[in-house]
Amino acid sequence: MPAETLDRLAALGDRAVWVHGNCEREMVTAFDGGAVPGPNAADATASAALIGRAHRDRLDGLPLTVTLDIDGLGPTLFLFTPPRAVTTRCCWSTARRSAGPTRWTASARRWLSAATTHMPFDRLVAGHRVINPGSVGMPYGHPGAGWALLGPGVTLRCTSYDAEAAAKTIGASRHPLRAGVGAREYVLNHYSADEALEAFTAIARQQWDE
């Protein structure tokens, strides 16, 4: 339901701050008739067929990073993936006090670009605090929508919802590939933390070898 989701977010006005991720890039490429590399090609093409030009232009104009001054945390960098690794599948939010991403150590950048975990955590990496709020629509390790409350501290939260009702809504959508799969895999059923971490470890090792 990409068009409906984008319209709902746009209706929030300046209450919602957006950043660019890998799926946005892939949908714009597919909308423009380009070849989408990787395993998401068919999914991106199907999703791009469900949005209009205004949706495409909104996605294409999103920033890769946004920095907000959060009470108690200071300047906080929000990103889906490190800007120089936008083609990798990552999902991270980062709270830090130093300047732009170029000041990150090579090991920290390498660690951040390892995989998309969609799993909440709060930890230190190479001297920087890294917060992953989890995922709303594709959570791993737990049911429900994952998110984080920032300021003055960091609170990782999860909101439950009516999975059966959500599955019916998704199943009735016009997406030819995700209508059934999305409802089964990410709403009615959930991958465990162990299953997800096993898959992410394999992805990370492959990327590091390359």
Q: Give the whole-angstrom CA distance, residue 197 versus residue 19.
A: 25
Tally of helices (H runs) and strands (E runs) in the chain: 8, 7
Asked if the model's pLDDT at residue 201 lies above 70, the reply is: yes
Q: What are the C-alpha distances in Å from 110 to residues 52, 127, 139, 207?
A: 36, 14, 23, 9
For 75-127, the pLDDT digits (tens) are: 999 988 765 544 443 333 333 333 344 444 454 555 454 446 788 889 887 78
Residues 6+ apart with CB under 8 A from 30: 36, 41, 44, 45, 47, 48
For the chain, the average pLDDT equals 82
pLDDT, one tens digit per residue, over 18-32 is: 999 888 999 999 999
* Residue 69 pLDDT class (50, 70, 90 cuts): very high
Give me the residue spans of the domains in the chain: 1-63, 68-210
More confident residue, 188 or 84: 188
pTM of the model: 0.79
Choice between 203 and 2, residue whose per-residue pLDDT is larger? 2
Task: Give 152: exposed, middle or buried? Use CB within 10 Å, 0-12, 13-18, 19+.
Answer: exposed
47: pLDDT strictly greater than 70: yes
- Helix (H) or strand (E) holding 70, with range, is strand 65-70
- Rounded to whole angstroms, the Cα distance separating 18 from 72 reads 22
Q: How far apart are CA 118 and CA 204, in angstroms?
A: 15
Per 3-state DSSP, what percentage of the chain is helix, strand, and coil (rounded to 5)?
Answer: 40, 20, 40
Residue 142 to residue 136: CA distance in whole angstroms = 11
Burial of 164 (0-12, 13-18, 19+ CB in 10 A): exposed
| pLDDT for the residue 92 | 33
Determine the residue type at 96: R
pLDDT of residue 109: 52
- What pLDDT is recorded for position 98? 36
Task: With residue 67 as reference, give the H or E element that holds it.
Answer: strand 65-70
Residues 73/80/87/123 CA torsion (nearest 10 deg): 50
> What's residue 180's pLDDT?
76
**pLDDT value at residue 99:** 37
Express as a percent the part of the chain with pLDDT over 90. 43
Q: Give me the phi and psi of 196, to 5 degrees please.
A: -65, -45
